[in-house]
Structure 1
Amino acid sequence: MSELLAPALSGAAAGLGVAMPMGAMSVLLLQEAVRERRPAVAAAAGIAAVDLGYAALATALGPWVAAHVTPAEAWIRLAASAILLTIATRGLLPTRPAPPPTNASPGAGASAGPATELGTEPGPSAGAGPGPGPGSGANAGPSAGPSAGAGAGAGRTFARYVGLTAVNPTTALYFAALTTAQGAALRAGAAGAAFVTGVALASLLWQQALVALGALAGSRISPAARTWTFRLGYGLVAAYAVKIAFPLP
């Protein structure tokens, strides 16, 4: 048992090393948690699943991964940058103030309530969160039971975050470098499994800690502060997207 402790701890350190830096995925995960916690839990599991997959692949085929990913790294970075810029743009557009309604009938104006007249940002319960995500469809009304819709939304969120995390070549190269450096120590089945398990658990715990932090903040900040938080977060995602695009292929 003691011979498996060292690779497990090494895997945990590697998992925290790739998860803790606040990159674009961390910002997006926090945004998701501010909107709604359940899809954010699925998003965190998606990120950790990719870390698990890359760690397992690198443990088994470390030198092969490094040799085949490195030549295409610049093109993969460019594709990831384009995807992140698209997400940031879609997230920023709904935060712009809506134009005043025109040709509105008196009945519609009266039913809209004071929030519409004052231009107040709708809260998360209205399903109009600033940016794409499962929370944006929450206006189906009480008759649409939460179980089926929430489950489908969590599944879509999980798949989306798996795809977004998987296009980042840095994660694959990071694990390939670590496992190649440790050489045959991780080639044994038990040691390699302990390393991968440590990576997955550490990554999942860190991502879920971010979800808890985002959900806590979302329940305490005002709608206006939440809107500015989204603007800042998606602005950081856009800046990170530009950063990873260079140097160009």
Structure 2
Amino acid sequence: MGSALLAGLVTGWAIALPVGAIGALLVSLGAQQGWRVAAAGALGVATVDGLYAGVAVLAGAAAAAALAPVADALTLLAGMVLLAVALLMARAALRPAGPARAQPRLLSPLRAYLLLLGLTAVNPTTVVYFVAVVLGNDAVVSGTSAAAVFVAAALAASASWQLVLAGSGALLGRVASSDRARRLTGLVAAGVVAALAVRALATVLL
């Protein structure tokens, strides 16, 4: 249970930490429209992360049970996918920031929630990442309770960081969305994902 909790927290933070387009939008909402609107948007992002974690657990557990004879091959594939995601994260972190988009005025908390939920849901990298982590971590698929703990922890971790961004925007304007902050958080997250990939590969190769 403890391993599932730790895996969920690390996974949720790793996918949430890069301050990319969604993070910059949350900071901007906080700076321009206040804490309530930005916090609602943050919960929209976390909702998708939690849903994708749940889908990954269900699909990953089913795949692991049905394809047990090739479990080692799946673990290797999961590690390779995680390494690819880490490289994509690092590349995105080092890419120059794009021009800021104009934000809607008088956005309600409900509309902010739905807007950020929709923008996050169309990112296929998130669900691929969660599936790869689940397939590469036996503690996550070891039982219903462990799976539930993993999903809850991933959702809580994602929500905690998104709310930090929302609060940073409300308190400090656009400071957290500077190019230096974006690069630092993106590279840290890429390093965490790479570490998860190495762990998955080591379970088979060592």
Report the TM range for the smaller structure's normalisation. 0.5 to 0.7
2:8 is the alignment partner of 1:6? no
1:211 CA drift (Å): 1.0
Q: TM-score, normalised by structure 1?
A: 0.53
- Separation in 1, partners of 2:99, 2:167: 26
List alignment gaps of at least 5 residues for structure 1: 71-87, 92-130, 138-149, 219-225, 237-249
- Separation in 2, partners of 1:32, 1:186: 37
- Separation in 2, partners of 1:16, 1:198: 10
User: Residue 212 of structure 1 aligns with which residue?
Assistant: 167
Amino acid at match of 1:200: L
User: Residue 28 of structure 1 aligns with which residue?
Assistant: 25
User: Residue 154 of structure 2 aligns with which residue?
Assistant: 199
Amino acid at match of 1:191: A
Residues 217-236 of structure 1 aligned to structure 2 (within 5 Å): 217-218=172-173
Cα root mean square deviation, aligned: 2.9
Aligned match of 2:54 in 50, 53, 56? Answer: 56
- Separation in 2, partners of 1:43, 1:190: 29
- Separation in 2, partners of 1:207, 1:199: 12
1:132 CA drift (Å): 3.0
- Separation in 1, partners of 2:140, 2:53: 15
1:6 and 1:208, CA in 2 relative to 1: closer, same or farther beyond 3 A?
Answer: same
Residues 129-144 of structure 1 aligned to structure 2 (within 5 Å): 131-133=102-104, 136-137=105-106
Asked if 2 retains the 8 angstrom alpha-carbon contact of 1:48 and 1:207, the reply is yes
Q: Aligned pair count?
A: 146
- 1:177-218 Cα distance to aligned partner (Å, 9 max, x none): 000112475251100000001101111011111111111113
- Separation in 1, partners of 2:31, 2:23: 12
Residues 160-179 of structure 1 aligned to structure 2 (within 5 Å): 160-179=115-134
Q: Which of these two proteins has the greater Rg computed from alpha carbons?
A: 1
- Separation in 2, partners of 1:201, 1:154: 20
Amino acid at match of 1:27: A
Amino acid at match of 1:18: I
1:202 and 1:184, CA in 2 relative to 1: closer, same or farther beyond 3 A?
Answer: closer
- Separation in 2, partners of 1:184, 1:197: 14
Instruction: Report runs of 4+ in structure 1 exceeding 6 Å deviation.
Output: none
2:13 is the alignment partner of 1:16? yes
List alignment gaps of at least 5 residues for structure 2: 64-73, 75-80, 82-97, 183-206
Q: TM-score, normalised by structure 2?
A: 0.63
Asked if 2 retains the 8 angstrom alpha-carbon contact of 1:60 and 1:187, the reply is no
Asked if 1 retains the 8 angstrom alpha-carbon contact of 2:53 and 2:151, the reply is yes
Aligned match of 2:145 in 168, 175, 190? Answer: 190
Amino acid at match of 1:49: T
* 3-state SS of paired residue (1:182): coil
